[in-house]
């Protein structure tokens, strides 16, 4: 039995069904969960449009591209391309629903049963080791099912501040922005983590005037500091008002405007406000603690590296566990849970091989140990960072911002981490991810052929520099 149809849930269902188990997935919104319907897929679809806008703007200026119209090129306005946000958002929602339907079709083809409703655990484990799950349908009817094992994959929902409640029109959370028909003229984004930074960059590219309110010293406080510095510099150069060390205290609507009051008394005005202040796990009202499932103070479910909870026969996966809020990690947790329960070969979750990406422009991709780990002495590693400005392909494409950074062990030269800041960094991080996952050395990366010219050539060049510095002594 799987409660929740996000990546952890539907991937677990596919694995279990393929291994011959009888599987039921209980979900109230549609398979794919928030990741597909309101979070990852929609936001990245919106960002895809923003990327086109940014690419055009930079190409227009850097590469000499002009748009033919009745106005001579030199007299054209600074921005010659606009966006129909209503059309963009309709496409976003259409693609999200299509993806959800595709997932449902895949799961049912594999032999799993999909039930629409909300599930909760009922009581303790039975004498035969089974678990009871009560499914409540939208019409209020209930059905009790018995399962040998239960996977909780119910995800999370946007966190709200007491004095900044979203109204879905002017004050928005990240699930509500796709109902907008017109581009916000002045958007205040509260929160400078991954979600806040991605939306701030996207709406700026689409044409909004954006103010990003950050309670920390810099944007993306949890990311590589060099990468965050590059992105913040890009944001500021493109006209974004980045307010560091500024904590939002309240947000209120004043007519067709919003006012954001900071903790120091300053007030910021805008046409809209997007709240991006974290997420709350969907664990309330599910009977988890009564069933023996231990929760963290944050409400997340405690799990081990094979997705087991403290209750026998109960597993958990995805954002509900508080372990790396990534669809890829949720999916892996779900697969691991099913492999473990069904007695198949299983490799425990290793977070040091997880690759992640921030879909800003430029993107920030990371894998393995970080600069913070090195600085804190958690691992002894040598580091080389190479700016993309030196890369011939980057010069051809007009790319000025970004770098490649690789971490390796000083003795063995085994690659233990990396950072890429570049357009499509999400694609460029993969060779470094393979190196981290397979304990490859910088010499092995350096000796592999790369295409010339290519951005990936910088990865090989960083590896060569790391290997040369060992051979010739530290520089």
* Euclidean distance between CA atoms 338 and 428, whole angstroms: 31
- Provide the pLDDT for residue 66: 73
Same domain, 395 and 456: yes
Q: Is residue 475 part of a domain?
A: no
Mean pLDDT calculated for residue range 283-291: 95
Please check the confidence at residue 475 and state whether its pLDDT lies above 50.
no
Same domain, 130 and 196: no
Same domain, 175 and 271: yes
Same domain, 400 and 290: no
pLDDT band at 261 (very low <50, low <70, confident <90, very high): very high
The chain-wide mean pLDDT, for the chain, equals 93
Phi, psi torsion values for 91, nearest 5 degrees: -65, -40
* Euclidean distance between CA atoms 134 and 234, whole angstroms: 51
Between residues 201 and 475, which one has the greater pLDDT? 201
Give Rg (Cα) of the chain.
Answer: 24
Range of the domain at 135: 2-157+281-350
Tell me which residue of 225, 168, 199 sits closest to 372, measured CA to CA.
Answer: 225
* Euclidean distance between CA atoms 365 and 436, whole angstroms: 14
- Provide the pLDDT for residue 471: 52
SS (H, E, C) 314-327: EEECHHHHCCCCCH
Phi, psi torsion values for 235, nearest 5 degrees: -55, -50
- Provide the pLDDT for residue 78: 52
Same domain, 37 and 185: no
Please check the confidence at residue 134 and state whether its pLDDT lies above 90.
yes
Residue 166 near residue 179 (C-beta atoms within 8 A): no
Same domain, 89 and 149: yes
pLDDT band at 64 (very low <50, low <70, confident <90, very high): confident
Binding residues for FAD, as ranges, are 44, 119, 319
Q: Is residue 163 part of a domain?
A: no
pLDDT band at 76 (very low <50, low <70, confident <90, very high): very low
pLDDT band at 190 (very low <50, low <70, confident <90, very high): very high
pLDDT band at 126 (very low <50, low <70, confident <90, very high): confident
Same domain, 31 and 135: yes
Please check the confidence at residue 74 and state whether its pLDDT lies above 50.
no
Same domain, 460 and 440: yes
Please check the confidence at residue 473 and state whether its pLDDT lies above 70.
no
Same domain, 293 and 189: no
- Provide the pLDDT for residue 71: 53
* Euclidean distance between CA atoms 304 and 149, whole angstroms: 16
- Provide the pLDDT for residue 409: 97
Please check the confidence at residue 180 and state whether its pLDDT lies above 90.
yes
Q: How far is CA 370 from the centre of its chain?
A: 17
Q: Is residue 165 part of a domain?
A: no
Residue ending a domain, among 327, 350, 373, is 350
Please check the confidence at residue 268 and state whether its pLDDT lies above 70.
yes
Please check the confidence at residue 378 and state whether its pLDDT lies above 50.
yes
pLDDT band at 129 (very low <50, low <70, confident <90, very high): confident
- What's the structural domain count of the chain? 3
Same domain, 84 and 122: yes
Binding residues, as ranges, are 44, 119, 191-198, 278, 319
Residue ending a domain, among 294, 322, 350, is 350
Percent of the chain with pLDDT over 70: 95
Structure tokens at 152: 């909780």
Q: Is residue 355 part of a domain?
A: no
Non-local CB neighbours of 134 within 8 Å, separated by 6+ positions:
119, 120, 121, 122, 142, 143, 144, 145
- Provide the pLDDT for residue 77: 47
Q: How many CB atoms lie within 10 A of CB 353?
A: 15
Same domain, 319 and 408: no
SS (H, E, C) 188-210: EEECCCHHHHHHHHHHHHHCCEE
C-alpha distances out from residue 348 to 49, 161, 230, 310, Å: 38, 36, 35, 17
453 preceded by cis ω (within 30°)? yes
Same domain, 43 and 81: yes
Q: Is residue 472 part of a domain?
A: no
Binding residues for NAD(+), as ranges, are 191-198, 278
- In this predicted model, what pLDDT tens digit does every residue of 417-456 receive, in sequence order? 999 999 999 999 999 999 999 999 999 999 999 999 999 9
Q: Is residue 166 part of a domain?
A: no
Mean pLDDT calculated for residue range 111-119: 96
Residue 416 near residue 408 (C-beta atoms within 8 A): yes
Mean pLDDT calculated for residue range 365-388: 97
Residue ending a domain, among 277, 304, 329, is 277
SS (H, E, C) 206-232: HCCEEEEECCCCCCCCCCCHHHHHHHH
Looking up residue 184, the CATH number of its domain turns out to be 3.50.50.60
- Provide the pLDDT for residue 125: 86
Please check the confidence at residue 81 and state whether its pLDDT lies above 90.
no
Phi, psi torsion values for 150, nearest 5 degrees: -130, 135
Q: Is residue 418 part of a domain?
A: yes
Looking up residue 376, the CATH number of its domain turns out to be 3.30.390.30
Non-local CB neighbours of 209 within 8 Å, separated by 6+ positions:
185, 186, 187, 239, 241
pLDDT band at 63 (very low <50, low <70, confident <90, very high): confident
Q: Is residue 342 part of a domain?
A: yes
Mean pLDDT calculated for residue range 320-349: 96
């Amino acid at each position: 039995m799987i409660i929740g149809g996000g990546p952890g849930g539907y991937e677990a269902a596919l694995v279990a069904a393929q291994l011959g188990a009888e599987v039921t997935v209980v979900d109230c919104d549609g398979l794919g969960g928030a990741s597909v319907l309101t979070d990852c897929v929609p936001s990245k679809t919106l960002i895809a449009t923003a990327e086109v806008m940014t690419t055009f703007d930079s190409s227009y200026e850097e590469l000499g591209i002009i748009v033919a119209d009745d106005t001579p090129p030199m007299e054209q306005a600074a921005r010659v391309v606009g966006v129909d946000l209503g059309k963009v958002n309709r496409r976003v929602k259409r693609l999200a629903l299509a993806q959800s339907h595709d997932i449902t079709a895949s799961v049912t083809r594999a032999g799993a049963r999909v039930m629409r409703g909300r599930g909760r655990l009922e009581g303790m484990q039975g004498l035969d080791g089974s678990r009871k799950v009560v499914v409540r349908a939208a019409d209020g009817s209930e059905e009790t099912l018995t399962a040998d094992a239960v996977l909780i994959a119910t995800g999370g929902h946007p966190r709200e501040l007491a004095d900044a409640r979203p109204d879905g029109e002017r004050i928005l959370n990240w699930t509500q922005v796709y109902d907008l028909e017109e581009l916000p003229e002045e958007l205040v984004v509260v929160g400078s983590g991954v979600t806040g930074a991605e939306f701030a960059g996207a709406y700026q590219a689409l044409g909004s005037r954006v103010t990003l309110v950050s309670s920390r010293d810099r944007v993306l406080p949890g990311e590589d500091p060099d990468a965050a510095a590059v992105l913040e510099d890009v944001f500021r150069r493109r006209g974004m008002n980045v307010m560091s060390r500024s904590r939002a205290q309240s947000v209120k609507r004043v007519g067709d405007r919003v006012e954001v009051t900071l903790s120091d008394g300053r007030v910021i005005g805008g046409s809209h406000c997007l709240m991006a202040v974290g997420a709350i796990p969907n664990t309330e009202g599910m009977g988890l603690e009564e069933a023996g499932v231990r929760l963290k103070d944050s409400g997340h479910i405690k799990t081990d590296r094979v997705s087991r909870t403290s209750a026998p026969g109960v597993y958990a996966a995805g954002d509900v566990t508080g372990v790396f809020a990534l669809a890829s990690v949720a999916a892996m947790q779900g697969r691991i849970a099913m492999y473990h329960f069904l007695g198949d070969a299983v490799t425990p979750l290793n977070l040091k091989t997880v690759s992640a990406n921030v879909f800003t422009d430029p993107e920030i991709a990371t894998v393995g140990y970080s600069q913070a780990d090195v600085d804190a002495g958690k691992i002894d590693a040598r580091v080389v960072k190479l700016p993309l400005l030196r890369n011939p392909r980057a010069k051809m494409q007009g790319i000025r911002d970004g770098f490649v950074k690789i971490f390796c062990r000083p003795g063995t030269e085994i690659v233990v981490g990396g950072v890429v800041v570049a357009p499509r960094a999400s694609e460029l991080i993969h060779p470094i991810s393979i190196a981290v996952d397979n304990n490859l050395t910088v010499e092995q990366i350096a000796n592999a052929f790369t295409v010339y010219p290519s951005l990936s050539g910088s990865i090989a060049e960083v590896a060569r520099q790391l290997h040369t510095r060992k051979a010739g002594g530290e520089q």
